[in-house]
Amino acid sequence: MLHRWFEKVTAGCARFTGRPAMFALCLLLAGVGIGAYFSNNDHFLNGANLSISIVTLLLLPILQATQNRDGAALQAKLDELISANRRARNEMIGIERDSEDKIERERPDRATTRNQGNSE
């Protein structure tokens, strides 16, 4: 249940961060920060600093969750294309979970791949 709630919240926040309202909010926070800096009031400066830090820390997991979801969707699409293509190696499905060294070993030689494509 918590996982489903987190997905809904992060998806909604990710959609909001791409809208003009978020840009306006960022401009407002930047204005508050600049105003706090020039006000010579330590309480105002600390409050502005805290609010900007909180917004930044809240955006980090939202952006990471969005990136993880986009990456997983892209991998699923690529896996589907690999399984649908008769010439593709099915061993490549799920290779993103392997170590970087193994991925590099499995990577086809670009010159060989290019020559095979030209011969057909």
Mean pLDDT by 10 residues, the chain (120 residues): 83 80 84 83 84 83 83 86 82 79 73 52
Q: What is the pLDDT of residue 5?
A: 87
Q: Residues 39, 45: contact at Cβ < 8 Å?
A: yes
pLDDT of residue 116: 55
Residue 72, φ and ψ in degrees, nearest 5: -65, -40
For the chain, how many residues are written?
120
- Burial environment of residue 75 by CB neighbours within 10 A (0 to 12, 13 to 18, 19 or more): middle
Angle, nearest 10°, between helix axes 42-84 and 20-39?
150
